[in-house]
Structure 1
Amino acid sequence: MAWRNPYYDPSLAHHRVDGFVNPEPELAVGGDFWRWRRERRAQGLPQAPAAGYAAFAREWSVAPDFAQAGERIWWLGHSTLLLQIDGLRVLTDPVLSSRASPFSFVGPARKLPCVTSVAALPDVDLVLISHSHYDHLDRISVQQLARRSPAQAQPIHFIVPLGLGDKLRSFGADNVHELDWWQAFDFRGLRVRATPAQHWSARTPWDRNRTLWCGFTVHGSQRGFYFAGDTGYWHGVPEIVERCGRIDLAALPIGAYAPRWFMKGQHIDPAQAVQMHLELAARHSIAIHWGTFELADDALDEPPQKLAIALADNGLGADDFWLLKHGESRSLAMRTLAESRVHFGT
């Protein structure tokens, strides 16, 4: 018997009987995968960073200092961020293993050593997981977080899109909450809302788009944060602010965008990240999803170069769009953020 989406709601445009679709399904996601692989191999892509991998790692890695107090954000590589807000800690897409793969011996390997471990993290209150891909949902990292949860003063809560709850529970996680697009979860003064994204999901060749994918907003007493997860560009970006409230800091992907004929429906490029920054009216953005794994044809050191060009073209600079090293953090307690008054929206 054919698989049927247990969450199917015919009143929702992104629901299908056999799974889920994008906010703009007419925008192609992917294409001829084997053509891409052939062209990639023939062109010798991706190329190493200009100064080599070792020099790139030295330039773009620092040991994180989790003892820093106050409202702060750490970039821990790829799409893994630790957000400290209103006395709580929020961890996004924790991938702290050596490979983004179901196997320990094959699959995309880290090109920069991981700057931390689950054991070295401070207590975590919320974990947000945007979708099922292995570079965003890592079994080992979730298992380690689940094992440490009972030892904390407060247990960890995991927020996932529709359909991922059973997978998290199979990894040992408790307190798992599934959200559809625009649904909210309130937690100790924070409001977390799942937002649409232009992407897809799969962990095997047989489960494509059977679970939902999303971004998230997190609003506290004074600040609003947006985590894009993985997304191609779609025209509903301003609706995130209209529905969820003001965005003080947006975490936007800038890597894994080449070649555009294959990646544009699922990953934004640096110019589109700047476009999203402007459409969100974000006070600041932080670059994620680059410099960790070689998932596409762009070299590890190319996204920052293209981001700098896109920022200059739009009259923006490094203070508008933060480019952090793996392990580096940035305080949120600055005048431009502290002045904002965030509302939850409708």
Structure 2
Amino acid sequence: MTQQSESTTTTPDAGRTASPSPFIPSSPPLAEPRPLGERRVWPRTFHDRLTAPLPGLKAIARFAREGSVRPRPEGLADIPRLPFAPEPLPRVDSLTVAVTWAGHASWVVRIGGLTILTDPVWSRRILGTPARITPVGVAWEALPPIDAVVISHNHYDHLDAPTLRRLPRHTPVFAPAGLGGWFRRRRFTRVTELDWWEAAQLDGVRLDFVPAHHWSKRSLTDTCHSLWGGWVMTAPDGQRIYFAGDTGYGHWFSRIGRRYPGIDLALLPIGAYDPRWWLSDVHCDPEEAVRAAQDLGARRMAPMHWGTFVLSAEPVLEPLTRVRTAWEQAGLARQDLWDLPVGGSRVLA
């Protein structure tokens, strides 16, 4: 499959294959921010952005033959031990950056004086998945006014209609290319769609949409009709958070690190990886997530996408134990692994 280069344009270069070059600067120039709420015309499909083929009939048959994608009973026995420690949101000012893990890929990010939700899922149950095994870490009523929402892609565990209905329709939404219509049909009035390597700016905070190794689908007929990716959030003073969304491991991490140097914190997925032959192209395992943090040049890493919904076959506590071991084996400082409980918070010094 072809991939988009690190260009500031979208079409017609959207499907161009990026060739490695020794002359790539350490920090390529960033795109000028796009206008907020801009209406744009997108391709009908983003299949050319896939970095691996989607499963074919042989893979689906093997998947059906080999059985469940749920852990064995002994792998579920640790559910009562999953870390859950809700606490009040930290007090912040415009110079403070703080994150609170609400569970799965949902974070309350406080940056540049804004409160931003990532992939907000406050529902107890999502389509096709058993109910949450840990409660939401932040009560909806405890949230401050939400200044913006960023969405990584349209899978149900990242784009939850019941949660989004709780938001005022004038809340600014930043979404992947091709997904804006979903929000406008639900009467959201301030929707900004971005392609890879594009950016927008809200009250001084820069939001860059960056590539991921994943895909999109929400119905039987819309496979890859919208894009997928992660977000780099940069405060006016330069503090920077990377939210990976949902992604497998691969070359994009080093490219993101070159383009956005000085990432203070990387929010990286570590769960939903077993069976590996089925999920390796689209979900990092814990060891790959640690490598991704290193590729990014991130100063700190906070694991996510585990311990909330049972989406795959690994034991529920295994992602946490493996990421801690991988972090230690990589020789990284223990205090820079922010392995938060659901509901936990950290403030960037």
Question: So what's the TM-score if we normalise by structure 2?
Answer: 0.82
Equivalent in the alignment of 1:165: 180
Contact 1:162 1:180 in 2 (8 A): yes
- Say if 1:48 and 1:175 are closer, same or farther in 2 by CA, change over 3 A: farther
Unaligned runs of 5+ in 2: 1-8, 18-41
- Say if 1:287 and 1:44 are closer, same or farther in 2 by CA, change over 3 A: closer
Superposed displacement of residue 72, structure 1: 1.2
Equivalent in the alignment of 1:308: 324
Equivalent in the alignment of 1:133: 155
Contact 1:22 1:200 in 2 (8 A): no
Superposed displacement of residue 126, structure 1: 1.3
Match of 1:215 among 206, 210, 230: 230
Equivalent in the alignment of 1:338: none
Unaligned runs of 5+ in 1: 1-6, 148-154, 334-346
Matched, 1:329 2:331: no
Residues matched between the structures, number? 311
- Say if 1:14 and 1:216 are closer, same or farther in 2 by CA, change over 3 A: farther
Equivalent in the alignment of 2:302: 286
- Say if 1:22 and 1:121 are closer, same or farther in 2 by CA, change over 3 A: farther
Q: Could you tell me how far apart the structure 2 residues matched to 1:313 and 1:14 are?
A: 37
Superposed displacement of residue 231, structure 1: 0.6
Equivalent in the alignment of 2:36: none
Equivalent in the alignment of 1:202: 217
Contact 1:95 1:136 in 2 (8 A): yes
- Say if 1:133 and 1:14 are closer, same or farther in 2 by CA, change over 3 A: farther
- 1:40-51 aligned at under 5 Å gives the runs 40-41=67-68, 45-47=71-73, 49=75, 51=77
Matched, 1:146 2:148: no
Contact 1:14 1:21 in 2 (8 A): no
Please give the per-residue CA displacement for 1:214-273, whole angstroms capped at 9, x wherever unaligned.
Answer: 101001113011000001112132211222342111000000011110001100110110
Equivalent in the alignment of 1:85: 111
Contact 2:50 2:214 in 1 (8 A): no
Contact 2:124 2:132 in 1 (8 A): yes
Identity of aligned residues (%): 37
Matched, 1:268 2:281: no
Question: So what's the TM-score if we normalise by structure 1?
Answer: 0.83
Superposed displacement of residue 305, structure 1: 1.1
Greater mean alpha carbon deviation, residues 288-297 or residues 63-72: 63-72
Superposed displacement of residue 64, structure 1: 3.1
- Say if 1:245 and 1:52 are closer, same or farther in 2 by CA, change over 3 A: closer
Please give the per-residue CA displacement for 1:201-226, whole angstroms capped at 9, x wherever unaligned.
Answer: 00012110000001010011130110
SS in 1 for 2:142: coil
- Say if 1:108 and 1:169 are closer, same or farther in 2 by CA, change over 3 A: farther
SS in 2 for 1:200: coil
Please give the per-residue CA displacement for 1:163-204, whole angstroms capped at 9, x wherever unaligned.
Answer: 111111223322110000000001111110000001000001
- 1:18-167 aligned at under 5 Å gives the runs 18-21=44-47, 25=51, 27-30=52-55, 32-41=59-68, 45-47=71-73, 49=75, 51-53=77-79, 55-57=80-82, 60-66=83-89, 68-69=91-92, 70-101=96-127, 107-146=129-168, 155-167=170-182
- Say if 1:40 and 1:309 are closer, same or farther in 2 by CA, change over 3 A: farther
SS in 2 for 1:45: coil
SS in 1 for 2:290: helix
Once superposed, what is the RMSD of the aligned Cα atoms? Answer: 2.4
Please give the per-residue CA displacement for 1:281-310, whole angstroms capped at 9, x wherever unaligned.
Answer: 101010010000011111211101111221
Q: Could you tell me how far apart the structure 2 residues matched to 1:44 and 1:192 are?
A: 36
- Say if 1:264 and 1:67 are closer, same or farther in 2 by CA, change over 3 A: closer
Greater mean alpha carbon deviation, residues 10-19 or residues 65-74: 10-19
